[in-house]
Amino acid sequence: MSQIDRRTFIKALAAASSASALSLPSLALAKTKAKVVVIGGGYAGATAAKYVKLLDKDIEVTLIEPNQIYVSCPLSNEVVVGHRDIKTLAVGYDGLKKRGVTVLHDLVTGVDRAKKVVSTKGGKKLAYDALVMSPGIDFQYTGIEGYTEALTEQFPHAWKAGPQTLLLKKQLEAMPDGGVFVIVVPKGPFRCPPGPYERASLVANYFQHHGKKKSKVIILDANDSHSKKGLFNQAWAKLYGWEKEGLGTNGMIEWVKGAEGGGVTKLDAKTKTVSSDFVDVKADVLNIIPSHKAGKIAADAGLTGAEGNNFEKGWCKVEPMTMASALDANIYAIGDSCVAGEMPLYGNPNAAFDMPKSAHIAMTQAKVAAAAIVAKLNGLPTPEPYYANTCYSVVGDDYGISVAHLYRVVNGTFKYIPEGSGVSMTTMPDKSPVPAIYRKLEAEYADGWLRNVIADAFG
Amino acid sequence: MHKVHQGIATAMTAVGLMLAGLAQAAPNIEGLARTCNNCHGTGGVSVGTSMPSIAGLSEAYLKHIMMEWKSGARASANMTRLIKGYTDEEIAGLAAYYAKLPWTPQPQKVGADILAKGKEATEDQQRPQDGRGQRARRRRVLRRARQVRERA
């Protein structure tokens, strides 16, 4: 597979430019000993490392990742409510090693962009021809008075999967019937845009199955709308008695938007009470998701905060054709730490928004970066990029919903393709209700998707 | 190198025109196919039971099903959305690309208890009408089950 893929890839690249077709095959066949270093072994970094190797096995690839085991954030909400064993989300790096990737379990301490050298805590210095920057996100614990990093042990975010996921699960299980489970959602952009609402759905599902039907999930949201809103509201009405927005409704799930006091600014840790300008809510389980920025390594390397609108503050801006950093042509910034493109934000076509921070889009960014790196290191023209997203949310028993996004690069800028994008149907084309099999299939696809993305990135 | 970049600029303009339906440029099918791999597995070989492998399926079938999703003639919970963003040429290219890849059976992990049940059921079915053909078939079934077990 890798041999075929590589040969046809290089052939296709050469054929893409008639000027280069005659002169480049000798280059393409020459043994390149270029070096690619990948920082961060999440979905983005693992995929980039694998696909560089698949496309040109003669390139040396080193992946630097402190952890021995990666735990998938996608579908970790199923772990919180006991539908899934956390083991099914865990994957190691043996698959990448078998493909010839050198995996270094170490922590990056610095990137010397002038000398093109990465330094690690373990004292290693790695030279690179191309660097893939995929450190993921870091949390900002500012913005909520009384909230600190240490309090995440008491009020778990469970927004990086692992011990935090299991802590939230334990707190949910210990919560008595009639309790209030509060989810505090930060101002976007945050990773996994539908994640908080999927979590709310599954927690309500847990209440139904575990004798806690008097309990509530309250979402305090700093934003005024959210991903797949129509579909979530439809599912909540069908499954969890959802009536309307705001506090004090009869349904199991209550959602308070930013404009109506959803943006939490204060925490009283002693009484587990969160407050905004408009509301105070006392929680039994308090799940605070802190706001996000690009991983510290990317910021320390000076790749974030590119000049531009507020939206780009704290994130890595990229070149659409290649995913190369707008600030350094030798560094490719992919995954949750980058800001890429514009798309309509939840029904408002005028609002600028970047590609959603999802594992799926991170992997297609990684594949674009891998192809661009291999082309560049072989002296071949940049291949045409494609970016796609698919994101499933499981919201109840046999009930899944999804969103798809497609992007192309047109005249050097990201172009969101609405014809190739969209959410699951809320009604059939003739306005009749969507048959249950559609929802069941999408719940099953969520599991198939998970297995395949893990295998495609790490296998 | 300068010429190469000019070539890219031309190709990009062509993409813009192609979207407007005014011109055709050769799409980067392998690049597009890599996005399919996310759900359908590396090289189109799926390891998730709910997602089909697409490598090695018939080109005509793949093209037909994708074109029907695109036109709305065929229902799908998901594929009807993404596929509408692809040109007919890209769809034909994807069908040809995956059809050329080898069909690769992917054994699913099964617990020993389930395999034992399967074996028992097979034996029960075969015993009353045991003849030469059935015996050979039974051996094949058991051999296959053993292979799956060993590979899992």
Confidence at residue B39, expressed as pLDDT on a 0 to 100 scale: 97
On whether residue A76 sits in a domain, the answer given is: yes
Structural domain boundaries enclosing A19: 2-136+295-383
* Domain edge (last residue) among A367, A383, A399: A383
Chain B residues whose beta carbon lies within 8 Å of the beta carbon of residue A398 = none
List the 334-373 stretch of A: residues with Cβ below 8 A of B: 360, 363-364, 367-368, 371
Which residues are bridge partners to A316 per DSSP? A304, A338
Chain A residues whose beta carbon lies within 8 Å of the beta carbon of residue B37 = 367, 452, 456
**Which of A394, A403, A419, A444 should we substitute to test contact with B (largest number of B Cβ atoms within 10 Å)?**
A419
What would the pLDDT profile of A220-248 be if each residue is shown by its tens digit?
A: 999 999 999 999 999 999 999 999 999 99
Confidence at residue B5, expressed as pLDDT on a 0 to 100 scale: 39
Sign of CA dihedral A61, A64, A69, A73: negative
B38/A364 CB distance under 8 A:
yes
Please check whether residue A10 is in contact with residue A378, taking contact to mean a CB–CB distance below 8 angstroms: yes
Question: Rounded CA gap, A335 and A191, in Å?
Answer: 10
B83/A420 CB distance under 8 A:
yes
A434 touches chain B (CB under 8 A): no
B50/A448 CB distance under 8 A:
yes
Examine the domain organization and report whether A149 and A276 are in the same domain: yes
Confidence at residue A24, expressed as pLDDT on a 0 to 100 scale: 41
Confidence at residue A270, expressed as pLDDT on a 0 to 100 scale: 97
Calculate how close chain B gets to A379, using CA atoms only, in Å.
8
H helix or E strand, kind and range, residue A35 = strand A35-39
Chain A residues whose beta carbon lies within 8 Å of the beta carbon of residue B49 = 447-448, 451
A385/B31 CB distance under 8 A:
yes
Domain B28-100 coded CATH 1.10.760.10:
yes
Examine the domain organization and report whether A155 and A271 are in the same domain: yes
Confidence at residue A353, expressed as pLDDT on a 0 to 100 scale: 59
Examine the domain organization and report whether A63 and A151 are in the same domain: no
Question: Rounded CA gap, B139 and B121, in Å?
Answer: 14
Q: Please state, in angstroms and as integers, the Cα–Cα distance from residue A454 to each residue in A72, A76, B83, following that order.
A: 8, 13, 23
* Domain edge (last residue) among A357, A383, A409: A383
Residue range(s) in chain B whose domain bears CATH number 1.10.760.10:
28-100
Examine the domain organization and report whether A147 and A274 are in the same domain: yes
pLDDT in tens, chain B (152 residues): 333 333 333 343 333 333 333 334 589 999 999 999 999 999 999 999 899 999 999 999 999 999 999 999 999 999 999 999 999 999 999 999 999 999 998 887 778 888 888 888 777 555 555 556 667 777 777 888 788 777 76
CATH code of the domain in which A266 resides: 3.50.50.60
Confidence at residue B131, expressed as pLDDT on a 0 to 100 scale: 58
Calculate how close chain A gets to B145, using CA atoms only, in Å.
23
Q: Which of A321, A406, A456 sits opposite B82 (nearest CB)?
A: A406
Q: Which two tokens stand for residue A384?
A: 């045409």
Confidence at residue A444, expressed as pLDDT on a 0 to 100 scale: 97
Q: Which strands sit side by side in the sheet containing A253-256, from one edge to the other?
A: A253-256, A216-221, A180-185, A285-288
Chain A residues whose beta carbon lies within 8 Å of the beta carbon of residue B26 = 16
B11 to chain A: closest CA residue: A384
Confidence at residue A407, expressed as pLDDT on a 0 to 100 scale: 92
Confidence at residue A26, expressed as pLDDT on a 0 to 100 scale: 41
A16 touches chain B (CB under 8 A): yes
A411/B16 CB distance under 8 A:
yes
Question: Rounded CA gap, B1 and A173, in Å?
Answer: 62
Examine the domain organization and report whether A71 and A104 are in the same domain: yes
Q: Which residues 6+ apart lie within 8 Å of A430 measured at CB?
A: none
Q: What is the DSSP letter of A22?
A: T
A371/B34 CB distance under 8 A:
yes
List the 283-322 stretch of A: residues with Cβ below 8 A of B: 321
How many domains does one find in chain A? 2
Examine the domain organization and report whether A285 and A182 are in the same domain: yes
Q: Which two tokens stand for residue A328?
A: 């350094």
List the 50-109 stretch of A: residues with Cβ below 8 A of B: 51
Question: Rounded CA gap, A311 and A215, in Å?
Answer: 37
Sign of CA dihedral A371, A373, A374, A379: positive
Examine the domain organization and report whether A105 and A222 are in the same domain: no
pLDDT < 70 regions, chain A: 1-32, 306-312, 342-353
